[in-house]
Amino acid sequence: MPQPQSPGSRLTAAVSGLVSCLWSRVPDVAFLTVLQQLGPLLQFEGLLSCYGSDAARLSDMVVAVEDLATVQFVLVPCSLPKQHDNDAHPRVVVTGNRCGLRVLLPVPESLLCFLSEHHCAAEPLTFNVTPVFFNVGINEEATLAGRLRLEGPQHRNNLDSFHRLAEYHHRYAKLDLPADTTRRSCCGSNRQSLSELMERLSKAVQSSKSKNTETLHLAAAVTRVMGGIRFTSCKSGKDRTGMSVTLEQVNLLTTAFDLARTERHQSLQAMRSDGTRILNCKKNISVKKFAFNAMQLTMFPRDYAPPPGSYGATAT
């Protein structure tokens, strides 16, 4: 569904990601340590161009993501009724104003018990997040922006985000985490290769190459290794986003679940022609097709082009 790049929509996304993480993962010492001493890393991936209306959206997105750093999050007991109720759900409470927001996040009993064993303070656990935003335009307007040399805002934002990510990585590396705390990233890397990934990302964000999607792939890899939460968006949240999400899915299947590389392309095409992302298009515009045309796709990076028959919708 369309996602306007406003502070409110970014906060909604952040809260959704945090609640999902707090309720779906098994609590462990490493997770609690990061939560207490650093706060979670939130990495936003954008596919907006620096031309036309996308340029304004990009500027709004930069400010909206940066504002998340000022939000204070507090873990509180969940007040769901004990009896089974399909309509019951954790209720998030937001107080304050844009200059000082406070978000109360309900957490399950299992996490509260774990907190009581490892969290010595009498007050509820309170933390801030570290938000970073990496953007690389991939469509025909991004091609035009590159030729007209309009990509300065994107370049500056990616550099700023890298500096914030590097500071977070510096503090993360000092944490006393369990020795077995390793996570495979979408590049098949673990915590020991985090510095190498950061070096590669540093070179990518400094490169003047247009449509350098390696920036997005490396930022995703770094985020996964440090247990961060990722978000992907474009203008509508369905077309370019659908291409990025399915590419990430097949990369994860290849590196983390040993999908044969000979099956990679076929799996990627299947996800785009029959998966949930094209169903998202139908729910949005009542047409089971991505809103691309053949001419546009000649200017897309190869890995971001959908298969024949899955595009051609005129509504965006």
DSSP string, 144-168: HHHHTT--HHHHHHHHHHHHHHHHH
Same domain, 138 and 251: no
- Residue that is written with structure tokens 């996040």 in the block: 105
Strand partners, 73: 103, 127
Which residue positions in the chain have pLDDT lower than 50?
Answer: 1-4, 182, 184-192
* pTM score above 0.85: yes
CA atoms within 13 Å, Cβ hemisphere of 64? 21
Q: What is the pLDDT of residue 192?
A: 45
Q: Residue 63 belongs to what domain range?
A: 7-77+90-180+229-234
Q: Which of 234, 254, 274 is the last residue of a domain?
A: 234
Q: Which of 234, 265, 297 is the last residue of a domain?
A: 234
Q: What is the pLDDT of residue 252?
A: 94
Q: What is the pLDDT of residue 184?
A: 46
Same domain, 156 and 13: yes
Q: What is the pLDDT of residue 25?
A: 83
234 is catalytic: yes
Write down the catalytic residue from 50, 187, 234, 281. Answer: 234
Give the tens place of pLDDT for each residue, 229-288. Answer: 999 999 999 999 999 999 999 999 998 999 999 999 999 999 999 999 999 999 999 999
Cite the DSSP H helix spans in the chain.
7-24, 29-37, 53-67, 109-118, 140-147, 152-173, 194-206, 214-225, 240-256, 264-274, 276-285, 294-297
The tokens for 162 are 């890298």
- Residue 135: phi and psi, rounded to 5, are -130, 135
Region for 67 from its dihedrals, namely left if φ exceeds 0, alpha if ψ lies in -120 to 50, beta otherwise? alpha
Query: Is 107 in contact with 73 (CB distance < 8 Å)?
Result: no
Give the tens place of pLDDT for each residue, 145-171. Answer: 999 999 999 999 999 999 999 999 999
How far is Cα 303 from Cα 259, in angstroms, rounded to an integer?
17
According to DSSP, the β-strands at 102-107 and 72-77 are parallel
How far is Cα 176 from Cα 25, in angstroms, rounded to an integer?
21
Total count of domains within the chain = 2
